[in-house]
Each structure stands twice: as structure tokens, then as C-alpha cells.
């Protein structure tokens, strides 16, 4: 298996710079009601190039993608696919007919349908197939084989796949149609490292054959690795465009935020720690097995400790979090430091253990309810006055966290859907902070969250740990594992493959362990 | 999540001047049911100016009594729709309440208190079974409540041998009569009872923790579970409340008509649901009981005007159906759905 270091491997440069632009976007603007999502965005995508678009949440990236995909029509400006004449009125159908395919940020699959049906979703008419079934099967297995080392059977229901595999199906949906321009909107955030590396190979080949890829990601490592050109969006405007190597990461961040105050390092000073982690035990597991036949896990979390959980998708890190939040495991038990056994999530919460789930939209948000209620749902007892629930009290409690987490919101009575993804996530984190937990469990909390919001969250975690809160965080971002954690447990096939202390943490070392390799010493082999 | 909707003053920098007139109107509509209230007012005016004796005290009282029956039929349904289900057994609870109160008091000579206690206890229990079963076994509540409805109706037919006998206690006829005064005030007791139910439900849903749990469970059951809401309990209790309200309405309908039969409750299913939907409560935990109250008033005034103009029952049904389609289509237009990709 080819293990490509995801953060630093040099990309094959695609050369040919003066190629004619394949796609030209000129000064497009789009408003939704009173909100100006895009003010003026221009960019040119050349054939053979990976064109990254970066910007904070709310900078207009997703709106731009929806305009390119034909989901929305621009209020002003033009979008031309230069090789073909303008396809009349833009619609998702006409845009796809012109060869532009989009993989959206959300994992959009039809759970009850098979892998094959999901990959070819939307291609068939009501009564007729556009491609024969045998051709569909051949093409689907070819593309899935490129993306996944162990592709699922084509007839398996998509609901049985892991998140990463489902996202791979969404990507395959675009790839089987042989796109001229492929738009990947945060499509890598749900992928495990191996699949992502395979996707990058596919992307490079697509570009080498004259196509182009528009790539959106919050992970600077991926941008570094893949992008030939980077356009920065800020507040709905394209503010800068750099060729590969022209801008440092700091320069990009400065362009994205419009200031450089966020570029100050978040790396924790190792000297300031040490003492804090020698505190009392908050949580421990005894002979915990995450799957039948897995090695038992005896894990202890001390006060003030920040522990990372890492590994390829579905290797047990999620199951450990579930066990720690009281939702059970195959065998063994979980107890608090004072030996209270945790038999249910209710037990765990009563013992001061709060869990921030992974999927914000499906597992955390109440879309029709107000921001303040989304915040207060787990601690409603505190909002009771004379037996009645007081919205005002809930909003007042939320106000305590608005400045600390730098949540940007209008009125707490607005529906939660009025906020951008990063701010929604902050409200969800505040929900659990409001319970004043002794242990905070987080499941990939920075997935799809912009850099500014990430740093706000890192600062918060540091403060919590300095106050003696124990934190266990599953993360798919190597950088945050390396920079933030006191130790990282690497999972493989349902067991803890390795426990890496802070002093030995490195992105390369972690990835090697994901695949069952040893630590730094295996470099010699 | 899409980045298209941003709070004013978000990362985008400059704050927009303010919501447009249309956005403001939509906000008023969401909070105060502007459209429904306007329609109610206009319909009433239309009736008052074109139908003879429409706006007399007696006519208004009888409209209020009709609206109370309708509103009570929509009460349990409102709760159930908010939690994300639907209750097709409401008519069976109504028929059951009416038959039991007549038969137990009239034929078996039970005291009214004992009969009412038995009816309400049974309604609570059977309603709870509805909610528990659909949540525990993940069966759509539509199916479970249809089954329950069939079982209750069958059981009643068996017990009454097909012909319900007896008569409801006389005081129930007084309570539900249009002409009765409440403590000397010229408002029918049924209307006062409806107002009490409305206040209790309104406060419970809006201002108590159990009430908010109904919304949270309905808005996103998975997120509710992760937020330590005991969603099975919420479902069970919500359907129990719906059963209870159905039982209460059954006793009242029994008093109003004097006796019971197994098809007595049937019209209340569609009309109760119509009051909920026309009022503006929708699946996904949007709405409250006040909206259903407005819906019930609106439909009652509409019916009265239509009858006054000589429209037949069939015409009325068609107009009700059209109204539901219009309202549902109106809600389907909310911009959120468009941006959900």
C-alpha cells in the first residue's frame, strides 16, 4: 500500500501554465435576502490545474460552489465554460451536461439504496437507463477500486458503509461521469487518510489528462500538497490568487482573515504543562473490549489531560468514545475516578462527562429551534424560574459563552440555521460547557470548521485543561493531534495500536502507525 | 452546512441594513400567524355582512362551541405532530369515550365520577401504548395508531354487541350546551373548558421543560438522545396525552349527542388534523397549540359562512382540502429547504 505523507509530500507539478482557462468566473455576486453571500468573485481555472479556494466559514465558498454547480443563479457577473458555448439557462442539469460535476460538503447518499445505485444516482431517466447496467457496474467498480483499497460490493446497501466509504461513493458519483471540471467542496473532511491519498492520485491524473479540479478544504496541508493555484475568498470577495509556492501559510491566513492576529501560534508551551497532568484520575476503563477479539484497553484519564484518539476511520476510536460516554462496549467496564460505574449515557452525564457528537447536523442540531434552546437543551434545569422554563435565562447563560468562544450571532432567538457552520459548532460546544463537565469528550469537533473557529476551540481546550478538566478528543486532523495533545492513542482494528506521548508526536509517525507500522525507528527499514 | 445564511455582523463584515419588508412579513407570519388571523377576520366580516343573524350572540356562541369541539380534537394531534408523529386513533378514543360514558352510566348505573375515571385511565394507557410501541419498534405512528384504532373500535363493537345503549349523564348535556352560562357569565362552559385546555397546553409546551422536550424530540430525535433527552418517554407521554384528550372529548361528545356509537368520532380525525395544519403547526416541531386554536376558529367560521351561503357538505370538504393544500404549499416554499444541499 502506498502511504503518502498527507502533509508534506510534494505534488507532481502539472506544468503547462499558459493553457487557456477552462472556466472563467467574472465578478459574480449573490445575495440571499438581506445577506450578501458573494460580493464580487473572479477566478480563472486553467486546464490541467488544481485550483484551491480557501477562506473562512461564511466567506462565500459554498455559495460559489452552488453557483458553479447551477444550484443557484448569480445576481450579477458571468460564469463561462470557455470550451463549450454557454448552455443557455444554467441549471444543475445543463452544468453537468457541460462536464462540471460537484461533490458537496455534506455526505449525500440515499441510505437504503445500493452502492451502485448511489454511484449512478440521477443518471437514469424514469423509464430508461442512460448507460447499460453492465457498463455501470464496470465503471463503478473501476472508479471505486481507484478510491478504496477494499471497495464494498456494488450491491451492498450504502447504509452499511462507514462515513468515509459513503463519501467515496459521492466522489465516485462525479468521477464515473468523466468530469472536465471536478469541484470538491470540503469533500475530504469525511475521508480517512488512505482514501484521501488515493483521491489525490485520481485528481492528479484527471488534471494530467486536461481536466481541472476546484478544490476546497480547510486543511492547509492538503492545499499545500495538491493546489497549483490558490484563490482566497474573504467576505464574499476574491481578494488574492497565488500560484503554487508563491504564498506561505501565514500569508494565506493573513489574506483569509484580513489581519494577522490569528497567525500567532496555538502550539502549547510544553514547559507550562507537566504538573497539571499528574492530577487525580477522572475516568478509567478496565479490560474494555471494543470488538470481540480486540485487545483489552485499560485507559486512565487524569485531570487536566488532553488525550487524542486517532486512526483510520472505523478502527475503534469512535467505539472508545462511545464506551467512555456510557453507551457500552463489547466487554469490560468504564468508571469514574471514584469508582462509580457508568452504565448509561445518563449515568455518565450525571458523573460530569459531556460528549460532543461528531455529526453536527444529524446528532447535535435542532434546526427548527432557537439558538438559545439549542444551547440550553442539556442543562434546562438551570433555566427554570418558579417551575417555568425561561428563554431569557437561557439566552443570558449563552451570553457567558458568546465572548469566550467568539460566537458570532445576531439574536439568540434566531433559529440555529441562521449561523455558519463554525458558529453552530461553537454553540454545540457551549451546550456541553454549560454543564461544567469534569471530562469533555469530543468527536472530531473541528471537522469542516474554519481556521479562526478552530483556534478559538484550541484556546478553549487549553484553558479547560489548565482548570483540570480532562479532555478526550477524536481527531482526523494530524496537525491538531500533534500540536495540542498530551498523548495520542492510535487505533487499529479495534485495539490500541500505540500510545504516543507528546514528546514523540509527529504527523509522519502517526500516519505510519495508522497502517500498523512502528514509530520513528521504522524509518531505518 | 451551507455558508449562505449568515447572521448579520458575521464574518462578512458590514451589517446589512435590516431585513426586507418581505422578510419582516414572514417573521410576523411565523410568530403570530398573520395570514390565518387576517383570513379569520375577513371571513367573519364577510359572514357578518352577508349572512343573516351571523353575528348575533347566539350564533357566535354556537360557533365557539363548534370550534371548541374541533380545537379539542386537534389538541392531542398538535402534541403528536410536534413530536414528529401522527395519531389516527383519535376518533376511536372519542367514540370510546362517548360509548363508555353512556353505557356505564346509563345502562350499568355507574356514578359519573367512576365512569370518567375509568375512561380517562384507559385512554391514558392505550395512548401510552401507541407512543411506546412506535418508538420502541420504530414503526411509523400512523400504522400503530391505525392498529390501535381498529382494536378499540372492534372491542367496543364486541362489548356493546353492535348496539350501544344508555344515555350520558344529564350534566354533560348541560356542560356542552350552547345556552348554558358559566358561573353566571354568558359563555358556554365548554368554551371555558377549551380555554383552560388551551392555556394549560400553551404554557406546558412553551414554558415547561417537558413541553420543550416535545419540541426537541420532534426537531431531531437523534440529537435529542445525544442531549440526554429520554425520547422514548417523551413519545410515550405525548401519545398518552393525546389519548387522554381524545377520551375527554369523547365524554363531552357523548354528553352533547346524548349517546354514543362507534362512528361518532370519525369526522374529528380529518377536521382535527385540518385545524392543526391550517393553523400552521408542521412536522419538524414548528408550531404550538395557539396556532391550532386559530385554525379551529378559522375552519368553524368558514363552515358557518359556507352553510349560510347554502353550500353542501361536499363543497365544504373540497374547500377544506384545498385550504390544507394551500397552507402546506405555502410552508413548502420556505427558503431553507432550497438551501439545504
Provide the ipTM.
Answer: 0.86
Interchain proximity A380–B10, CB inside 8 Å: no
Backbone torsion region of residue B134, taken as left when φ is above 0, otherwise alpha when ψ lies between -120 and 50, otherwise beta:
alpha
Tally DSSP H helices, then E strands, for chain B.
Answer: 15, 0
Q: How many CB atoms lie within 10 A of CB A117?
A: 19
pLDDT at A422 over 90: no
Interface membership of B284 toward A (CB under 8 Å): yes
Cα–Cα distances in angstroms (integers) from residue B203 to residues A195, A210, A236, A388, B69, in the given order: 52, 64, 43, 9, 20
Core vs surface per residue A402-427: b (16+ CB within 10 A) or e: beebbbbbeebebbbbbbbbbbbbbb
- Beta carbons within 8 Å of A486's beta carbon, 6+ residues apart: A273, A277, A305, A306, A307, A501, A502
Choose among B91, B98, B77, B72: nearest CA to B268: B91
At A28, the pLDDT band (50, 70, 90 cuts) reads very high
Instruction: Give me the residue label for grid cell 349527542.
Output: B257
Nearest to A432 by CA among A348, A308, A309, A516: A348
- pLDDT of residue A16 exceeding 50, the answer is no
Tell me how close the Cα of A150 comes to any Cα of chain B, in angstroms: 29
Question: Does A409 touch chain B if contact means CB atoms closer than 8 Å?
Answer: yes
d(CA A362, CA A353): 21
Answer whether A384 touches B (CB < 8 Å).
yes
Q: Is A468 exposed, middle or buried (0-12, 13-18, 19+ CB in 10 A)?
A: middle
Q: Is B250 helix (H, G, I), strand (E, B) or coil?
A: helix
Under 8 Å between Cβ of B37 and A261: no
- CA nearest B205 in A: which residue? A389
Verify whether the Cβ–Cβ distance B227 to A365 is below 8 Å: no
Among A235, A380, A424, whose Cβ lies nearest the Cβ of B209? A380
Residue B16 exposed, middle or buried by CB count within 10 Å (0-12, 13-18, 19+): middle
Asked if residues B131 and B235 have their Cβ atoms less than 8 Å apart, the reply is yes
Residue pLDDT, tens place only, B119-162: 999 999 999 999 999 999 999 999 999 999 999 999 999 999 88
Q: What local confidence, expressed as pLDDT, does residue A5 receive?
A: 42
pLDDT, mean of residues A222-241: 89
Q: Nearest CA to CA, how far is B315 from chain A (Å)? A: 36
Nearest Cα of chain A lies from the Cα of B336 at a distance, in angstroms, of 9
The residue-averaged pLDDT of A132-147 equals 90
B165's CB contacts (< 8 A; 6+ apart) are B102, B103, B106, B107, B259
CB proximity list for A40: less than 8 A, separation 6 or greater? A27, A28, A29, A77, A236, A237, A238
The number of beta carbons lying within 10 Å of the beta carbon of residue A129 is: 12
CB contact under 8 A, B341 and A377: no
Look-up of cell digits 367514540: B95
Find all residues with CB under 8 Å of B109, minimum gap 6, and list them.
none
Average pLDDT (A115-125) is: 84
List the grid coordinates of A437.
463537565
User: Which stretches within A148-246 are classed as H helix?
Assistant: 163-175, 193-208, 220-226
Q: Please, what are the domains in chain B?
A: 55-326 (1.10.3470)
Which stretch of DSSP H or E encloses residue A21?
Answer: strand A21-32
Percent of all residues in chain B with a pLDDT value above 90, rounded to a whole number: 65
Chain A / chain B CB contacts < 8 angstroms? 156
B178 φ/ψ angles, rounded to the nearest 5 degrees:
-70, -30
Helix (H) or strand (E) holding B25: helix B21-32
Are A393 and A401 a contacting pair, CB within 8 Å?
Answer: no
What pLDDT is recorded for position B340? 35
Whether B2 shows a pLDDT value over 80: the answer reads no
Question: Are B137 and B222 within 8 A, CB to CB?
Answer: no
Element of type H or E holding A22: strand A21-32
- State the average pLDDT for chain A: 84
Which of A450-454, B182-186, B222-226, B256-260 has the highest mean predicted lDDT (pLDDT)? B222-226
d(CA A10, CA A13) in angstroms, rounded, equals 8
Predicted confidence (pLDDT) per residue in A236-249, tens digit? 889 989 998 888 87
* pLDDT given for residue B341 in this prediction: 29
Element (DSSP H or E) covering residue A473: strand A470-474
CB of A445 within 8 Å of a chain B CB? The answer is: no
For chain B, say whether A14 makes contact (Cβ under 8 Å). no
**How many angstroms separate the CA atoms of B122 and A202, rounded?**
64
Q: Please give the Cα distance from B156 to B35 (Å, whole number).
A: 42
Q: How confident is the model at residue A258 (pLDDT cuts 50, 70, 90)?
A: low
Average pLDDT over residues A366-377: 94
Closest by CA position to A470, among listed A308, A273, A305: A305
Contact criterion met (CB below 8 Å) for A343 and A326: yes
In the predicted model, is pLDDT for residue A251 greater than 90?
Answer: no
Closest residue by Cα to residue B214 from B237, B243, B234: B234
CA distance A107 to A100: 19
Residues of B in contact with A381 (CB under 8 A): 209
Question: Is B23 in contact with A34 (Cβ distance < 8 A)?
Answer: yes
Q: What pLDDT does residue A235 have?
A: 80
Tell me the pLDDT band of B64, cut-offs 50, 70 and 90: very high
Of the pLDDT bands very low, low, confident and very high (cuts 50, 70, 90), residue B323 is confident
Nearest residue in A to B2, CA atom? A62
* Short-list B278, B328, B244, CA closest to B72: B244
Amino acid at each position: 500500500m502506498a502511504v503518502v505523507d498527507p502533509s508534506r509530500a510534494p505534488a507532481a507539478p502539472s506544468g503547462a501554465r499558459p493553457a487557456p482557462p477552462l472556466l472563467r468566473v467574472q465578478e459574480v455576486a449573490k445575495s440571499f435576502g438581506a445577506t450578501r453571500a458573494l460580493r464580487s468573485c473572479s477566478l480563472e481555472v486553467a486546464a490541467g490545474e488544481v485550483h484551491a479556494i480557501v477562506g473562512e466559514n461564511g466567506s462565500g465558498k459554498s455559495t460559489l460552489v452552488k453557483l458553479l454547480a447551477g444550484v443557484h443563479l448569480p445576481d450579477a457577473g458571468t460564469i463561462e465554460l470557455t470550451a463549450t458555448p454557454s448552455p443557455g439557462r444554467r441549471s444543475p442539469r445543463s452544468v453537468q451536461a457541460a462536464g462540471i460535476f460537484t461533490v458537496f460538503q455534506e455526505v449525500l447518499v440515499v441510505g437504503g439504496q445500493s452502492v451502485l445505485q448511489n454511484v449512478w444516482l440521477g443518471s437514469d431517466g424514469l423509464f430508461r437507463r442512460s448507460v447499460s447496467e453492465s457498463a455501470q457496474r464496470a465503471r463503478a467498480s473501476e472508479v471505486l477500486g481507484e478510491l478504496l483499497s477494499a471497495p464494498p460490493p456494488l450491491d451492498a446497501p450504502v447504509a452499511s458503509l462507514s462515513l468515509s466509504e459513503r463519501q467515496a461513493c459521492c466522489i465516485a458519483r462525479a468521477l464515473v461521469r468523466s468530469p472536465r471540471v471536478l469541484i470538491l467542496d470540503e469533500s475530504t473532511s469525511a475521508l480517512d487518510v488512505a482514501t484521501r491519498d488515493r483521491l489525490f492520485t485520481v485528481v492528479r491524473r484527471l488534471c494530467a489528462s486536461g481536466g481541472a479540479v476546484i478544490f476546497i478544504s480547510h486543511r492547509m496541508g492538503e492545499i499545500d500538497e495538491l493546489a497549483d493555484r490558490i484563490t482566497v475568498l474573504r467576505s464574499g470577495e476574491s481578494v488574492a490568487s497565488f500560484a503554487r509556492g508563491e504564498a506561505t501559510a501565514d500569508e494565506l491566513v493573513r489574506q483569509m482573515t484580513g489581519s494577522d492576529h490569528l497567525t500567532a501560534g496555538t502550539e502549547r508551551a510544553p514547559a507550562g504543562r507537566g504538573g497539571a497532568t499528574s492530577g487525580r484520575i477522572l475516568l478509567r476503563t478496565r479490560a474494555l473490549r471494543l470488538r470481540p477479539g480486540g485487545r483489552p484497553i485499560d485507559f486512565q484519564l487524569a485531570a487536566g489531560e488532553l488525550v487524542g484518539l486517532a486512526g483510520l476511520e472505523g478502527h475503534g476510536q469512535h467505539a472508545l468514545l462511545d464506551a467512555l460516554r456510557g453507551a457500552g462496549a463489547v466487554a469490560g467496564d468504564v468508571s469514574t475516578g471514584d469508582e462509580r460505574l457508568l452504565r448509561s449515557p445518563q449515568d455518565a452525564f450525571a458523573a460530569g462527562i459531556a460528549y460532543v457528537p461528531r455529526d453536527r447536523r444529524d446528532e447535535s442540531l435542532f434546526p427548527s429551534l432557537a439558538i438559545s434552546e439549542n444551547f440550553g437543551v442539556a442543562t434546562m434545569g438551570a433555566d427554570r424560574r418558579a417551575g417555568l422554563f425561561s428563554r431569557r435565562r437561557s439566552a443570558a447563560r449563552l451570553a457567558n459563552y458568546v465572548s469566550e468562544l467568539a460566537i458570532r450571532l445576531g439574536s439568540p432567538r434566531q433559529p440555529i440555521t441562521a449561523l455558519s457552520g463554525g458558529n453552530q459548532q461553537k454553540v454545540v460546544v457551549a451546550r456541553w460547557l454549560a454543564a461544567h463537565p469534569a471530562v469533555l469528550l469530543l468527536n472530531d469537533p473541528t471537522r469542516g470548521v474554519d481556521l479562526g473557529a478552530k483556534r478559538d476551540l484550541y484556546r478553549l481546550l487549553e484553558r479547560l485543561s489548565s482548570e483540570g478538566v480532562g479532555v478526550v478528543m477524536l481527531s482526523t486532523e494530524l496537525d491538531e493531534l500533534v500540536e495540542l495533545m498530551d498523548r495520542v492513542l492510535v487505533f487499529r482494528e479495534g485495539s490500541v495500536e500505540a500510545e504516543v506521548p507528546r514528546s514523540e508526536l509527529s504527523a509522519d509517525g502517526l500516519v505510519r502507525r495508522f497502517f500498523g507500522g512502528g514509530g520513528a525507528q521504522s524509518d531505518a527499514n | 452546512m451551507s455558508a449562505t445564511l449568515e447572521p448579520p455582523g458575521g464574518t462578512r463584515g458590514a451589517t446589512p441594513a435590516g431585513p426586507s419588508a418581505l422578510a419582516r412579513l414572514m417573521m410576523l407570519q411565523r410568530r403570530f400567524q398573520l395570514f390565518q388571523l387576517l383570513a379569520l377576520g375577513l371571513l367573519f366580516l364577510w359572514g357578518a355582512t352577508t349572512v343573516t343573524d351571523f353575528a348575533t350572540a347566539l350564533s357566535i356562541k354556537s360557533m365557539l362551541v363548534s370550534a371548541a369541539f374541533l380545537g379539542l380534537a386537534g389538541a392531542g394531534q398538535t402534541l403528536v405532530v410536534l413530536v414528529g408523529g401522527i395519531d389516527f386513533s383519535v376518533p376511536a378514543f372519542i367514540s370510546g369515550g362517548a360509548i363508555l360514558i353512556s353505557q356505564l352510566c346509563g345502562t350499568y348505573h355507574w356514578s359519573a365520577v367512576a365512569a370518567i375515571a375509568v375512561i380517562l385511565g384507559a385512554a391514558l394507557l392505550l395512548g401510552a401504548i401507541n407512543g411506546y410501541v412506535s418508538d420502541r419498534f420504530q414503526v411509523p405512528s400512523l400504522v400503530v395508531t391505525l392498529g390501535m384504532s381498529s382494536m378499540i373500535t372492534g372491542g367496543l363493537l364486541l362489548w356493546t354487541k353492535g348496539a350501544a345503549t344508555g344515555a350520558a349523564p344529564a350534566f354533560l348535556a348541560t356542560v356542552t350546551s350552547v345556552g348554558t352560562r358559566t358561573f353566571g357569565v354568558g359563555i358556554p362552559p365548554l368554551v371555558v373548558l377549551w380555554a383552560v385546555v388551551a392555556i394549560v397546553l400553551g404554557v406546558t409546551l412553551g414554558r415547561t421543560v417537558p413541553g420543550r422536550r416535545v419540541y426537541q424530540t420532534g426537531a431531531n430525535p437523534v440529537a435529542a438522545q445525544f442531549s440526554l433527552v429520554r425520547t422514548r418517554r417523551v413519545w410515550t407521554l405525548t401519545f398518552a396525552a393525546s389519548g387522554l384528550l381524545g377520551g375527554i372529548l369523547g365524554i363531552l361528545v357523548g354528553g352533547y349527542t346524548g349517546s354514543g356509537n362507534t362512528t361518532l368520532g370519525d369526522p374529528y380525525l380529518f377536521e382535527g388534523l385540518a385545524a392543526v395544519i391550517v393553523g400552521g403547526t408542521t412536522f419538524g416541531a414548528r408550531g404550538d397549540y395557539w396556532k391550532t386554536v386559530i385554525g379551529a376558529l378559522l375552519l368553524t367560521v368558514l363552515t358557518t359562512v359556507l352553510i349560510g351561503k347554502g353550500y353542501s357538505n361536499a363543497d365544504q370538504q373540497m374547500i377544506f382540502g384545498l385550504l390544507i393544500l394551500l397552507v402546506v404549499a405555502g410552508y413548502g416554499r420556505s427558503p431553507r429547504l432550497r438551501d439545504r444541499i
